[in-house]
Structure 1
Amino acid sequence: MNPNLTLTTVERDSGIAFVTLNRPEQRNPLSLEAMRDVTKELRRLGGDDAVRVVVVGASGPVFSAGHDLKEMVGRTLEEERAIFDACVEMMQAVQEIPQPVIASVQGAAVAAGCQLVASCDLVVASSNAVFGTPGVKIGLFCSTPMVALSRAIGRKRAMQMLLTGQNIDADTAADWGLVNLVVPAEDLDAQTRELAEQIVAASPLTVRIGKQAFYHQIDLPQDQAYTAMAETMATNAITCDAQEGMQAFVNKRTPRWRGR
Structure 2
Amino acid sequence: MIEGLKVGDRAELTWTVGSEHTIHLGVNRKGFGDDGKAMRRSAVVFSTPNMILLMERAARKAIEPYLEVGEESVGAQVHIDHLAATPIGAQVTAFAQVTAIQGRAVDFDVTAFDEREMIGKGTHRRMVVSLDRIADRLEQKTPTHRNGTLIPMLATPNPGDLPSLSTLQVAVDDRVAKVLLNRPERRNAVDQQMTRDWEELNAWLAGHPDIRIVIIQGAADTFCSGDDVREVGDLSLEVARELSYRQARMYLNWENLPQIFIAAVDGNALGAGCVMACSCDFRIATYQATFGMPEILLGWSPGYGLSQLTALVGKAKAIELCTLGGPITAQQAMDCGLVHRLVARQQLSTATAELTQKLLAMPPMALRETKRLIHQDEGTQVKSTYVADTQAYVECLGTDDAREGIRAFLEKRPARFSR
How far apart are 1:35 and its partner, in Å?
A: 1.7
Aligned-partner SS, 2:214: strand
Look up the match of 1:138.
Answer: 298
Look up the match of 2:361.
Answer: 201
TM-score, with length taken from structure 2: 0.50
Tell me which structure has the larger Cα radius of gyration. Answer: 2
Compared CA separation, residues 2 and 198, structure 1 to 2 (3 A): closer
Task: Choose the corresponding residue for 2:262, options 82, 102, 115.
Answer: 102
How far apart are 1:134 and its partner, in Å?
A: 0.7
Q: What pairs with 1:73-152 in structure 2 (closer than 5 Å)?
A: 73-152=233-312
Look up the match of 1:9.
Answer: 171
Can you give the 5+ residue segments of structure 1 that lack an aligned partner in the other structure?
221-260
Deviations 1:128-154 (A, max 9, x none): 000001111110122413222111111
Task: Choose the corresponding residue for 2:322, options 162, 165, 168.
Answer: 162
| Overall identity of the aligned pairs, in % | 29
Asked which structure has the greater RCO (Cα within 8 Å, sep 6+), the reply is: 1
What's the C-alpha RMSD, in Å, of the aligned pairs?
A: 1.7
Whose helix fraction is larger, Structure 1's or Structure 2's? 1
**Worse-matched range after superposition: 114-123 or 71-80:** 71-80
CA distance in 1 between partners of 2:332 and 2:303 (Å): 22
| 8 Å CA contact retained: 1:39, 1:93 | no
Look up the match of 2:373.
Answer: 213
| 8 Å CA contact retained: 2:244, 2:303 | no
CA distance in 2 between partners of 1:76 and 1:93 (Å): 26
Aligned-partner SS, 1:9: strand
| 8 Å CA contact retained: 1:36, 1:90 | no
How far apart are 1:76 and its partner, in Å?
A: 2.1
Look up the match of 1:253.
Answer: none
Compared CA separation, residues 51 and 74, structure 1 to 2 (3 A): closer
How far apart are 1:214 and its partner, in Å?
A: 0.6
Runs of 4+ in 1 over 3 A off after TM superposition: none
Can you give the 5+ residue segments of structure 2 that lack an aligned partner in the other structure?
1-163, 381-419
CA distance in 2 between partners of 1:31 and 1:75 (Å): 11
Aligned-partner SS, 2:305: helix
CA distance in 1 between partners of 2:292 and 2:272 (Å): 9
Task: Choose the corresponding residue for 2:190, options 2, 26, 30.
Answer: 30
| 8 Å CA contact retained: 1:54, 1:102 | yes
* Number of equivalenced pairs: 218
How far apart are 1:190 and its partner, in Å?
A: 1.1
| 8 Å CA contact retained: 1:7, 1:41 | no
- Whichever residue aligns with residue 30 of structure 1, its letter is V
Task: Choose the corresponding residue for 2:208, options 43, 48, 57.
Answer: 48
Look up the match of 1:250.
Answer: none
Deviations 1:156-191 (A, max 9, x none): 000000011111111111111111011100010110
Whose strand fraction is larger, Structure 1's or Structure 2's? 2
1:184 aligns with 2:344: yes
CA distance in 1 between partners of 2:206 and 2:346 (Å): 29
How far apart are 1:69 and its partner, in Å?
A: 1.2
